[in-house]
Amino acid sequence: MKIAAIKGFNDILPEQAAVWRHIESVFHRVLGAWGYGEIRLPLLEYTELFARSIGGETDIVEKEMYTFSDRSGRSLTLRPEGTASMVRAWVQHTLGAPAEVGKFRYVGPMFRYERPQKGRYRQFYQLGAEVFGDESFYQDAEMLIMLARFFHEVGVEGTKLHLNSLGCQACRPHYRDELQHFLADRVDRLCDDCRRRVPQNPLRALDCKQPACREVVAVAPRILDYLDAPCREHFAGVTRLLTAAGVEYEIDQFMVRGLDYYSRTTFEFLAGELGAQNAVGAGGRYDNLVAELGGRETPAIGFAVGMERLAMLVATAAGAPPTEGGVALTALGAPAIERLFPLQQELCAAGIRALLNYREKSLKSLLKKADRDGVRYVLIVGDQELEREEATLRDMSTGEQRTVLLTEVVPTMRRMIHGRQDN
């Protein structure tokens, strides 16, 4: 019986992995330039960490977590997102002195028990970043400008930035009460989830996707009308800096995000080409979470971009990743294979992609394979060439052919591929 992968868990095949690698390298370069250091966090955490940070009335905690007991009976959860772990690490290592700013970036898999469909999987990858210790609106603007830059450099244009502010602990309760009253008068028109959440967490209804809820919410009180003066100023600062930097945005007062820990600025980058799962990245400020998880009061902000969704956009964008290049050593017959085997090792050691057939095949099928492998050069050695210690070198892009001595293959390839003299 064949064993298949778990539903919603994907194999990333080489062609796709090349796109991912391209995205990751641009991500690390761009965020490195903006001063974000890389962090690698564990995939498993105590369940309590997510329950406390993400919030009890969220979809993630209520129905999407992969939770199980380990052999000693402790409840563990495969991380559904990166922020909780990052905050846990920040508090645990008290990374940085009190007044210091810490900036981190990460890439890795997340796990959510959702209904698998295009752009929505049970294991998916996020490229994320978090900043601790800076409450200024400059920090919010920096992150958004940097993200816009990242999308541009990775070759994705036309994402739309949606922006909102959720206020703070001082002003949000007023809004929450108003919204709660408004929704309580209309509970019979809400979906089951929203109805249940109105008493504890009425804001959840704002981004409910059910048409009936959307209709109710469309005329609900608007959060920006309830911001206090400091929150209004903060939001105005962010939008002013974005405008000055030429980053376009749209204010979306229904965007509250699916996690409870956000405050003030929240944002999403949307891409129409993605269809129903159109959010390619999202994030926001979470000024209270560090203290709630036992750290000292520390303002913070972060985002996460979905790798699979971004890769779909990159793959459809112009300038797909370059072919792999290198050389196919095309050995016709056993003696030629034997002779080219050590040459392959020398080429690989020199950092040149070198492929060699270990089984005897016809020239025609080897050339076809070389074409599929996307090599730049083909080096052909048959019995006659072998006798003369020579090879025929063909440039696949021009069709030009020349003869090289076998002893000259490595320096010749180095020169042609790396563009430098061998010494």
The residue ranges that bind ligand ATP (CB under 6 A) are 81, 112, 114, 119-121, 124, 126, 258, 277, 279-282, 304, 306, 308-309
Token digits for 162?
Answer: 């949606």
Taking the C-alpha atoms of residue 293 and residue 38, their distance in angstroms, rounded to an integer, is 22
Nearer of residues 230 and 258 to ligand ATP, judged by Cβ: 258
Nearer of residues 81 and 134 to ligand ATP, judged by Cβ: 81
Question: Which residues is 403 bridged to in the sheet?
Answer: 392
Give how far the C-alpha of residue 110 lies from the chain's centroid of Cα atoms, to the nearest Å: 10
Which residue is at the shortest CB distance from ligand ATP? Answer: 306
Nearer of residues 114 and 135 to ligand ATP, judged by Cβ: 114
Shortest distance in whole angstroms from residue 53 CB to ligand ATP: 12
Nearer of residues 91 and 280 to ligand ATP, judged by Cβ: 280
Shortest distance in whole angstroms from residue 111 CB to ligand ATP: 9
Q: Kindly give the pairing relationship between strand 75-78 and strand 66-69.
A: antiparallel
Burial of 298 (0-12, 13-18, 19+ CB in 10 A): buried
Distances (CA, A) of 50 to 189, 293, 384: 31, 10, 68
Shortest distance in whole angstroms from residue 148 CB to ligand ATP: 15
Token digits for 317?
Answer: 């964008």
Shortest distance in whole angstroms from residue 119 CB to ligand ATP: 6
Residue 193's nearest CA partner among 59, 64, 53, 61 is 59
Shortest distance in whole angstroms from residue 309 CB to ligand ATP: 4
Nearer of residues 119 and 167 to ligand ATP, judged by Cβ: 119
Shortest distance in whole angstroms from residue 213 CB to ligand ATP: 15
Nearer of residues 214 and 369 to ligand ATP, judged by Cβ: 214
Nearer of residues 120 and 353 to ligand ATP, judged by Cβ: 120
Name residue, tokens 């072919």.
323
Nearer of residues 120 and 174 to ligand ATP, judged by Cβ: 120
Shortest distance in whole angstroms from residue 69 CB to ligand ATP: 24
Shortest distance in whole angstroms from residue 121 CB to ligand ATP: 4
